[in-house]
Structure 1
Amino acid sequence: MIGSARQVGRAIRDARSGRGISLRELASRIEVSAATVSAIENGKTRVDVERLHAIAAALDTEVAELLERLEGPGGGEVSVIPVVSSPPVDRDGRSWRMFGPVRLDPVLRAAIEDFVEKGYHGSTMRSIALRARMSVPGVYHHYRSKQHLLVACLDVTMNELFVRVTAAREEGDDPVARVAFMVEALALFHMYRRKLALIGASEMRSFEPANRRRISALRNDLQHLIDDEIAEGVRRGVFSVDSPRHAGRAISTMCTSLSQWYRESGPAGPEQIARDYARFALGLLGSGARDS
């Protein structure tokens, strides 16, 4: 038993992004569709031994080295694969719209609060330890450095975003519906997970180079999910936008900016704002308004 499908998928995604290889490139190297690789990395498809060897070869690594990532961080480069459960499923199966508390250890939770309040460079392992009500050696027992904590924050963020956006995409039956649901999922995340989103928006400059490349690759993969649906909508004639790639970036930026201004005390709740943003996105793409 080499691990659950979700664990193996995360290890593959972590190894791929760490090498700066796009999801599409890996799919091409092992001669499958990008959708198949996405399903593998999101734990939707179990990987047999033959395919695991093919993936390892495509990533210029060994299966043993690939599976070492199941055991957690190691070596000089930070490689964190946090355990984050899939969102709960409601009566209609719309799990991506539901937001309960995130399961985080006390140190990581304290680091998130400290990074949001003081910024990465203003925080110290001592200030995080104080906030977590632990000793400094106790914090170092769980995380070797402040950089490890920052990477863990972004890994939690990217893991949950992939789970939610992929689930939202699967709910749609055409490009218009899929884009609308994906935008809704992005918007909801950046309001319900505002602190994590703020760290992601403000601290990319604080990553060491290898970690920045890995997180950037994951972000690009997430963007490609939206870009692919926009491109399909243009191909089918349901979107009339002249610059689909620019529109895709504009839509994503619109959603990520929510973490900077949204407040729970505001006049509109996350669900209404998310539906509005989905409508704005479809308008930008030239599809007209869509009923929520």
Structure 2
Amino acid sequence: MHATPESPDAAGRATAGGTAARSATTPADAGALVRRARLEAGMSLRELARRIDVSPGTVSAVENGKTQLTYTRLQQIAAALGRTAPELLLDVSLPAGPGPADGPPEPTNLHELRRIYSQLGTRSDGAVDWRRYEPIPIGPVLLAGLAVFVETGYHGATVRTIADAAGMSVSGIYHYCTSKHDILVRLLDEAMTDLAWRTRAAAEEGTTAAERVALLVECTAQYHAQRWAFALILAAEMRSLEPADDARIRGLRDAERKRLEACIEAGVAEGAFTTASPELSARAITSMCTSLPEWYRPGGPITPAEIGRRYARMALDMLRTTDADALLARLHSAG
């Protein structure tokens, strides 16, 4: 069973069964994207070339699909047009990526970059709605690292493959990071920061311990579905961390579980739950949520929001909650 991210990318995906277009985004698709954005900005081809310090022929080659558009060049063009790279990536309907018979997409493929962008979201500063997921820029190096780690795994990636994905030189990568490990650590920090503010906000919505547990589980499960790329490297690549970073990131993950455990203990004290072991229950529910990347992939009929609601119901059943249906109905009608 698969789920579909609630993102601008979902509307542009091919239908299931392989009946829609299966080719990856081509230079022609990227060129059409650039040309449309330039015309909407009322800018001539020559002026755009001047602003990004290339020849008019180079811009023409991009717009006519005769050359690959790298992420770095896309950033330059977007800035010259008063836009951002995510805006350009998300403001166009792209064909579906290649299917299994075609092999994996190239890391510089715009469709892959757009797919990854659709899984990113607002950081904690000033954020208030934990259910809302919006694309944000994390920079070409982290974006490329995320895409490559998802595609090849951490140990299959190199600084050069990340540089190629970002459209940069290897030396250019080292202006942004110290190593491949540094990229992994920064991605995991980004993931845990994003998860932590969401679970705090979710728990604060509850007025009883049972409500807080339901909201925490819903939030955690939805996060691991919506942020599938981040969730995958959290699940698969913690083992690749050096000892100090491993201990720190695991401490952040343990804090999430202990937050849930404390709410379960409060629910037992209030008489809402009859579980005999709040600690074991918290571990089981947390594992249920964090293991989502083992089976979840974007592209199916179940949204991350629906996954969150279903997991919340399963968690309440595990805790032997009294009147779970009424509890969930009250939360969802209020939300």
Common fold: TM-score over 0.5:
yes
Aligned-partner Cα distance in 2 for 1:279–1:87: 30
Deviation at 1:102, TM superposition (A): 3.3
Q: Is the 8 A contact 2:122 2:135 kept in 1?
A: no
Aligned-partner Cα distance in 2 for 1:258–1:220: 18
In the alignment, residue 109 of structure 1 is paired with which amino acid? L
Residue in 2 that maps onto 1:211 = 245
Query: What do residues 223-254 of structure 1 show as CA deviations (whole Å, max 9, x unaligned)?
Result: 11101100111111111001111110111111
Cα distance, 1:190–1:88 mapped onto 2, change above 3 Å: farther
Please, which of 224, 227, 240 is the counterpart of residue 258 of structure 2? 224
Please, which of 274, 291, 294 is the counterpart of residue 260 of structure 1? 294
Deviation at 1:222, TM superposition (A): 1.2
Are residues 1:198 and 2:236 paired?
no
Deviation at 1:265, TM superposition (A): 2.5
Deviation at 1:87, TM superposition (A): 8.0
Please, which of 143, 151, 160 is the counterpart of residue 126 of structure 1? 160
**Identical counterparts, % of pairs:** 45
Deviation at 1:103, TM superposition (A): 2.8
Residue in 1 that maps onto 2:124 = 86
Residue in 2 that maps onto 1:102 = 136
In the alignment, residue 302 of structure 2 is paired with which amino acid? A
Are residues 1:160 and 2:194 paired?
yes
Larger Rg: 2
Please, which of 159, 169, 177 is the counterpart of residue 143 of structure 1? 177
In the alignment, residue 205 of structure 2 is paired with which amino acid? E
Q: Is the 8 A contact 1:107 1:128 kept in 2?
A: yes
**How many residues were matched structurally?**
206
Q: Is the 8 A contact 1:108 1:153 kept in 2?
A: yes
Query: What do residues 245-281 of structure 1 show as CA deviations (whole Å, max 9, x unaligned)?
Result: 1110111111112222223332322212211110100
Are residues 1:171 and 2:209 paired?
no
Q: Is the 8 A contact 1:88 1:98 kept in 2?
A: no
For residue 313 of structure 2, give the secondary structure of its aligned residue in structure 1.
helix
Query: What do residues 37-90 of structure 1 show as CA deviations (whole Å, max 9, x unaligned)?
Result: xxxxxxxxxxxxxxxxxxxxxxxxxxxxxxxxxxxxxxxxxxxxxx9623886x
Structure with higher helix content: 1
Q: Is the 8 A contact 2:122 2:133 kept in 1?
A: no
Aligned-partner Cα distance in 2 for 1:121–1:211: 17
In the alignment, residue 179 of structure 2 is paired with which amino acid? S
The TM-score with structure 1 as length reference comes to 0.68
In the alignment, residue 198 of structure 1 is paired with which amino acid? L
- Which of 1 and 2 has higher RCO (CA within 8 Å, sep 6+)? 2
Write the mapping of 1:42-81 to structure 2, written as runs, cut at 5 A: none
**Which consecutive residues of structure 2, in runs of 5 or more, have no partner in the other structure?**
1-120, 330-335
For residue 214 of structure 2, give the secondary structure of its aligned residue in structure 1.
helix
Residue in 1 that maps onto 2:273 = 239
**Which consecutive residues of structure 1, in runs of 5 or more, have no partner in the other structure?**
1-82
